[in-house]
Amino acid sequence: MARKYDTDVVICGAGPTGLTLAIELARRNVSFRLIDKSPEPFPGSRGKGIQARTQEVFEDLGILDRVVASGGQYPTARVYTDGGPIDRAAVPPPPTPAEPYHLALLVPQFLTERRMRERLAELGHAAEFGRPLVGFERFEQDDEVVTAHIGGAHGEETVRARYLVGADGGSSFVRKTLGVAFPGRTLGVEAIVADLRVEGLSWDLWHRWGDGTQGREFSLCPLYGTDMYQLMAAAPAEGEVDLTPEGLTALARERTGRDDIVVREVSWASVFTMQARLADSYRVGRVFLAGDAAHCHPPTGGQGLNTSVQDAYNLGWKIAAVIDGASAALLDTYEEERRAVAEDMLGLTKRLLGEAKAGGMRRGRDVMQLDVGYRGSSLGLPCPGRDKGVLPGDRAPDAPVTGAAGQTVRLFHLFQGTHWTLLGYEPGTATIAPRRGLRIHIVGADIHDTQGHVRDAYGLEAGDWALIRPDGYVAAVVGTAGLGSIESFLDRVGVRPVR
């Protein structure tokens, strides 16, 4: 019988969302095409903040150290007031065994994307730039194919795929073609963001003027890994915005009262109106929305890129599992889990924007995204009566353990990759049969909880088992008597015994 598909997935948009999804599919040997209408990669710093949970995702994807080396920690903010400058240094809580990353990293988006493209190349794939999606049909007679029409310099190409993912930004062609509503509102704030080469400022500070003075905000933040600053400023209330070096130098003089700040070069610049919107649906049949195509928001709190990366991280393994034979119902959990997260994120960023307008934005634990989870998701086994430790839907904590051969290793290292993990805590002789795509580790056998960190973080007792999803969330916590329910659950998600 003729093959129905040219590829498994077409990903429209090669920004952080599309690149994350491509890496996820590539390491699972799922075929795909990653296309982008832009002739070249995005050149700007826009999504520069990388939160703690995204750092954990990047560790799993194999790019964290390279991303960290491309940037650095957020610098001390120097706020210029009528009474003189005030330095405000962010002091994150120290890391713990369960939460190894607490720093908010500052990495220009174009460098983050470069590291992701490098990782994708290692896996044998590349993005196709200058290749716009010009149309698609969702259904053929058997409801198994999405037909995508891809433009380019050499004409239009027709590609048949099992799935299409719109990761093509706030003005998403995919979302508009689907007719999915994007309700929300404009927030009444027009802003400038630009990457500049500037003279007259010390490099080790984030310089801020006009905090709490609506329409007068102006800040210059050094972009580590480059010789540029990122400008964030309220756009002038009237007239066209002059984004030339001369125009931005004049704006700096007006907002700061200083004539020693000189913009020498503008590498990239944009004027945008802040909005808060959430797509009514993340899925129509075999077509999905992810990232800014599904939600847009003010940049306060550095949540956008992080939420978008985690959309793709959630979706990628589920598409791969269904292609490999898991129940198609698994794909329903993508919208179930991620749309609720975006709704919460929109509330957070709007609150932070209001605080920023008042001059007192507080970045707390909520921006780190370590507490984002999926409790109540249908993708988990109920744990009636469990009143301690982790529950299904929670982020799976890290912990140092000692291997039976005497070497220290972290749980995150054991979780890293495309597999599920079953963690047994001193279960005696109980176990389950090996399965393709499942790794089983027994505390008290191949690993040892020498410092009690696994017990404390997970709330496990002798005989307990914790099942960890490929994206690092808890799927189940059961006693030995519940191993049968875990086996049934694994059958449902396509992790079956080897015959």
- Residue 143, pLDDT score: 75
pLDDT in tens, 92-111: 889 999 999 998 899 999 99
- Residue 237, pLDDT score: 84
- Give 77: exposed, middle or buried? Use CB within 10 Å, 0-12, 13-18, 19+: middle
Please check the confidence at residue 468 and state whether its pLDDT lies above 50: yes
Non-local (6+) Cβ contacts of 442 within 8 A are: 424, 426, 427, 431
Percent of the chain with pLDDT over 70: 95
In degrees and rounded to multiples of 5, residue 347 shows phi and psi of: -60, -40
- Residue 243, pLDDT score: 97
pLDDT in tens, 218-238: 999 999 989 999 999 999 988
Closest CA to 474 of 420, 434, 438, 433: 420
Bridge partners for 233 per DSSP: 192, 218
Bridge partners for 208 per DSSP: 79, 219
Alpha carbon separation from 106 to 69, 73, 324, 482 (Å, rounded): 11, 6, 37, 44
pLDDT in tens, 401-452: 999 999 999 999 999 999 999 999 999 888 899 999 999 999 999 999 999 9
> Given pLDDT bands bounded at 50, 70 and 90, which one contains residue 136?
very high
- Residue 141, pLDDT score: 44
Mean pLDDT of the chain: 92
> Given pLDDT bands bounded at 50, 70 and 90, which one contains residue 347?
confident
pLDDT in tens, 8-31: 999 999 999 999 999 999 999 999
pLDDT in tens, 250-262: 999 999 999 999 9
pLDDT in tens, 292-343: 999 998 776 567 899 999 999 999 999 999 999 999 999 999 999 999 999 8
Please check the confidence at residue 286 and state whether its pLDDT lies above 50: yes
Q: What's the average model confidence in pLDDT over 165-174?
A: 96
Alpha carbon separation from 206 to 109, 194, 458, 498 (Å, rounded): 18, 15, 39, 56
Token duo for residue 145: 């194919």
Q: What domains can you pick out in the chain, each with its CATH number? A: 7-44+54-62+107-182+278-368 (3.50.50.60), 400-492 (3.40.30.120)
Token duo for residue 54: 């995204």
Instruction: Decide: pTM greater than 0.75.
Output: yes
How far does the chain reach from its first CA to its final CA, in angstroms? 26
**Positive or negative, the Cα torsion across 326, 311, 67, 370?**
negative
Q: What's the average model confidence in pLDDT over 451-471?
A: 97
From CA 57, how far away is CA 171, in angstroms rounded? 26
> Given pLDDT bands bounded at 50, 70 and 90, which one contains residue 2?
low
E strands, 318-359, where?
none
Alpha carbon separation from 374 to 343, 370, 396 (Å, rounded): 13, 12, 11
> Given pLDDT bands bounded at 50, 70 and 90, which one contains residue 455?
very high
Q: What angle do CA 398, 71, 106 make, to 5 degrees?
A: 75
Q: What is the number of other CB atoms lying within 10 angstroms of the CB of residue 219?
A: 20
Token duo for residue 253: 């003089």
Instruction: Output the DSSP codes for 1-15.
Output: ---S-SEEEEEE--S
